[in-house]
Every structure is written in C-alpha cells, then in structure tokens.
Structure 1
Amino acid sequence: MMRLLRPLIIALGLTLLWQSIVWITGAPKFILPGPVQVFSTLFEQAPLLAKHGAVTLAEILLGLVFGVMLGLISALSLATWGPLRRWLMPVLVISQAIPVFALAPVLMLWLGYGMASKIAMATLIIYFPVTAACFDGLRQTPTGYLKLARTLGASKRAQLLQIRLPAALPAFASGLRVAASVAPIGAVVGEWVGSSTGLGYLMLNANARMQVDLMFAALLVLALIAVTLYFLIDFLARRLMPWQADSLNKANTSIAGH
C-alpha cells in the first residue's frame, strides 16, 4: 500500500513546493504559472498534448530499441573479440568527447526533419550507457564460474550464453534504466533543432507565443513519459531478476524481523 502512496505523496509535495514558490516570489503567470493553471491547461489541451506526445513517445521507444540492440551487440563484440576491443574501445571513448547535442543539426541535414533524425539522436544518446554497462557486466563475471565451466568442458559459446550473459544482466538492467532516463533528452533536442511535431516542437511554439502554461503542461507530459519508462523497466528488471533484490530492502526486512 505504501508503495502506491509514496509516488502520490511525492507528487503532492512537489506541487505544494511549486505553489509556494509562486506565492513567495509573486512571479507573474507569463514567467511562472501556478500548478492550478498548468493542470487546467493540461486537461483543456489534452488532445493537442496527446497528439504531440504520441510522436515523441514513438521516437523515444524506437530510439530505445535501436540503442539497446546496438549497445548489446557492441558489448558482446567487445567482450568476445580482443583485437576488436583494442581498436573499438578508444573510438567509443573519444566519441563521448563530442557533445551529442552538437550532432543534432548534422543529423537534420542528413536524415531530414522527420522522425528519423530524432530517433537517431535518441539512439546515439542511449548507445554508450547501454554498451558500457553491459560490457562491464560481462567483464565482471565471477572467475570461479568460468573456471568451473572450463573444467567441465564448456565451449566459449556456452560460457557466454549460460554464464557471462546471465551474470551481466544486473549491469545491463542498470544501463537500461539510465537509457530510459536520457532517451527523452535525445528526442526533444532533435525536435528543438527542427520539427513540426512532438513535445519539443510544442514547447518551442508555446514559448514563442508566450503560452507558458502550455509549455509547462508539455514539460509535465514529457516528465511523465520519462518516469513511466524508468519505472516500467525497473519493474520488469525486478521481475526477471528476483535474485537481485535490493540489499537495503533485505536489511530492513532483517531488522524488522528482530
């Protein structure tokens, strides 16, 4: 029961904090609208927000799919092929020195102003966290398991599929959680650079028209999408890996038992 109430309590607390800031600062509505005004706009403009939110959600989901697939393939390649790791790893590290946001105009030039460039942005921003997390998980497989597998005559393929990949799942799940958090950034930045649909476009358009309440409503929808994706992936990871229960919960259960 408390697990369901906690998000509601947090949301209520943040809303009260928001309203308190509006009261204390006395900020005009065109600078900082109150939560009542924003929520009212959220319901009034629900069809418009749903239309643009669906576009952004599609870009995020497709970016997640492609980013996770490419990241997993890259991590497996790095973990299994030593020569490739020596050549590819420096390239991956150097690539992170280039701000992904700076590539948005280039992607627009190459892929156009449609969804393709936004999906590419989301894919790029997701790719490295997933690759790094999964690769670290594959490298940190307990050596005892691998030695036992070699003693029993297991092939390298069997070791990878039955030992190393399962051992890397917790790290891979952490990478997915990070990916779910940053994927909306890639999609929205792409929409800011050039688009005619999506929440990023709607926010820019509302800002230009001084419709700050609509801009905040679009921001809330985007935040809701990001939070929902994060908790959905977290829920699935906990269900698929019940042996990776939160150590803090275990400790609390142990203390309660005493």
Structure 2
Amino acid sequence: MKKYRSSAIICLLFFAAWEGIARYIDAMYILPSPTAIVKKIWELKDILFLVHLPATLAVTFEGLGISIVFGVLLAAAMSISEKVQRALYPIVIVTQTVPITALAPIFVLWFGYGIWSKVLVTILITFFPITINVYDGLRSTRRDMEELLFTYGATKRDIFIKLKFPASLPYFFSALKIAVPLSVVGAAISEWLGAQAGLGYFSKRMMTQLDGAGVFAPIVILSAAALVMVKIISVLENKIVKGRNEA
C-alpha cells in the first residue's frame, strides 16, 4: 500500500484544488466540480452503466481484439520476411498520419451508424502500437542465440516459437497497456462523431444542453474503465511473463 500513498495524496490534492476552483468560478456549465460530476453519475447511473457503457465497451473490445490479431500477424510477417517488412512498414507508419477525426465521418458514411464504423476507428488507432511493439520484440532476440539453435538443428519455426515468441511477450503486454486506453479513446471519438448510443454520444448530447457535469460524467467512467483494463493486463503480465522467467 505504501507505493500508492504518494499517488493517492497527489490525487486528493488535485481534486481538492479542482473542487475549490470550480466553486470559486461558480459556472457549472464550464467547469463542474468533482462532487457535481459524481452526483450526476449517481443520478444517471442506470442509463450510463446499463445502456451507454456496454455500447462503448462492445466497440472497444471488438476493435481491440481485431487489432491484436491483425497487429500480431502483421508483426510476425514483417519479422519473418524482410521483403514484407520493406513493403508494409512504411504503410503502417502512413496510417498514423491521417487524422482520425477526418476518417471517422467517412466510415459513418460508408457503414452507417452501426457498430462497424466505430470499430474501424478503434482498429485504426490501436493496431499501430501493437504491431510496432510486437515487431520490435520479435527482433530483440540475440543473433548468437539464433545461430546456436541453428547449430543444434532447430528450424525457423522452432526458433520463432521457442526464442522469438517468448522474447516478444513483454513488448506485447507493453503494447496492450498503450492500446487499451487508445481503444477507449477511439470508441469515444467515433461515438462523438456519429452514433446512437455510447458514452461518447452521451457526452456530446450533454454538451448541446450545456450540462457540464453531464459532459464530464462519461469521461470519468471511460477513464475508470481504462484503468481497470490496464490493471488486469498488468496482473496477467506478472503471471505470464514473470512465471515464464521464474520457470
């Protein structure tokens, strides 16, 4: 518990300062206080947690799941073949130069307000850190270790499974810790630009009503959801990566 004490103190000071500034300004539509936001979440808990949160999490999990599969396969292909790496690596980089806010309306135009227009936005945001980190992890193995396994008769498949794949696991979990918050952001952005449900959609609706606490309430829930998911990933990382190292 001691390692979290400093963070807890900083958070308490931050929220106390926020509460004081918000009360001093006394303009809830501009800067609602933390207590007002918590009150709003409690008042709207049913619609927030039973309607809009599940809609956002569905987009988040589907987009993140596809990104993991697509990103890992792409990273593996680039690590196995130098020709594939030279052909695809620049394209992967270019995908991150296009503004998401410009593509999201196009996806809505193509796929409507259904889930897939929002999933595509999430994929576009999250597959890049997964691909690049896993690719770096697969390339992190020492050349002399690969040559040693070759001398013992190991095939490229054996080296990939027994050497490169385990070496890439820390990089993979680091990529997930980056991609999870980005997936939540991507889902919210896509809902903000075009949706019929979701926390991003709800925040936009509250903004049109000049309800500051209503705008901040979904943001707080999204942040909490991202923190919980990152914590789960950290627990899995400790069990899988450290378990393999200890074994």
TM range (shorter): over 0.9
Deviation at 1:243, TM superposition (A): 6.6
Distance apart, 1:20 and its partner CA? 2.7
- Cα displacement string for residues 156-207 of structure 1 (whole angstroms, at most 9, x for unaligned residues): 0000011001011111111111101211111111111111100011001011
1:69-93 superposed Cα distances (whole Å, 9 cap, x missing partner): 1000000000012221121112212
Describe the shift of the 1:46–1:6 C-alpha distance in structure 2 as closer, same or farther (beyond 3 A).
Answer: farther
1:225 corresponding residue in structure 2: 225
Match of 2:101 in 1: 101
Offset at residue 4 of structure 1 (A): 6.3
Q: Is the 8 A contact 1:62 1:119 kept in 2?
A: yes
> 1:2: how far off?
3.1
- Given that residues 28 and 211 in structure 2 are in contact (C-alpha distance below 8 angstroms), is that contact kept between their aligned partners in structure 1? no
Letter in 1 for 2:84: L
The match for 1:167 is: 167
- Please show how residues 128-207 of structure 1 align to structure 2 within 5 Å: 128-207=128-207
Any idea what SS the aligned residue of 1:241 has?
helix
- How far apart are the structure 2 equivalents of 1:66 and 1:55? 17
Q: TM (normalized to structure 2)?
A: 0.92
Task: Give the 3 Å change call, closer, same or farther, for CA 53–6 of structure 1 in structure 2.
Answer: farther
Change (3 A) 1:20 1:42: same
State the SS of the aligned residue for 1:213. Answer: helix
Supply the distance in 2 between the matched residues of 1:201 and 1:44 (Cα, whole angstroms): 18
Whether the 8 Å contact between 1:41 and 1:217 is mirrored in structure 2 is: yes
Query: Which runs of no fewer than 5 residues in structure 1 stay unpaired?
Result: 246-258
Instruction: Give the secondary-structure state (helix, strand or coil) at the position aligned to 1:113.
Output: coil
Post-superposition offset of 1:13: 3.1
Q: Which residue of 1 aligns with 2:63?
A: 63
In structure 1, how many angstroms separate the alpha carbons of the residues matched to 2:112 and 2:6? 43
Which residue of 2 is the match for residue 34 of structure 1?
33
Q: State the one-letter code of the partner of 1:208.
A: T
1:6-61: CA deviations, max 9, x gaps?
Answer: 6654543332131132245x241121111111111111110011120111011111
Task: Tell me the distance in 1 between the aligned counterparts of 2:96 and 2:213.
Answer: 36
**What is the Cα-based RMSD across aligned positions, in Å?**
1.9
Instruction: Verify the 8 A CA contact 2:95 2:124 in the aligned structure 1.
Output: no
Q: Percent identity?
A: 31
Structure 2: distance between partners of 1:134 and 1:97: 20
* 1:95-120 superposed Cα distances (whole Å, 9 cap, x missing partner): 22212332101111122101111111
CA distance in 1, matches of 2:3, 2:196: 39
User: Secondary structure at 1:154's aligned position in 2?
Assistant: coil
Equivalent position SS for 2:29: coil
After superposing on structure 2, the runs of 4+ consecutive aligned residues of structure 1 that deviate more than 6 Å are none
Structure 2 equivalent of residue 122 of structure 1:
122
Q: What TM-score do the two structures reach when normalised by structure 1? A: 0.88
Answer with 149-158 or 236-245: which moved more.
Answer: 236-245
Contact 1:130–1:175 (CA under 8 A) maintained in structure 2: yes
The one-letter code matched in structure 2 to 1:48 is I
Partners of 1:129 and 1:54 in 2: CA distance: 25
AA partner of residue 189 (structure 1): I
**Structure 1 residues 238 and 6: alpha-carbon distance in aligned structure 2, compared to 1, 3 A threshold:** farther
Inter-CA distance 111–3: structure 2 relative to 1 (3 Å threshold) = farther
> Which letter maps to 1:61?
F
**Which residue identity lines up with residue 32 of structure 2 in the other structure?**
P
Asked if the contact 1:54/1:198 (under 8 Å) is kept, the reply is yes
Conserved in 2, the CA contact under 8 Å of 1:170 and 1:244? Answer: no
Unaligned segments of structure 2, at least 5 residues: none
Counterpart CA distance in 1 for 2:41 and 2:90 is 46
Find the aligned partners of 2:35 and 2:192 in 1 and give their Cα distance. Answer: 27
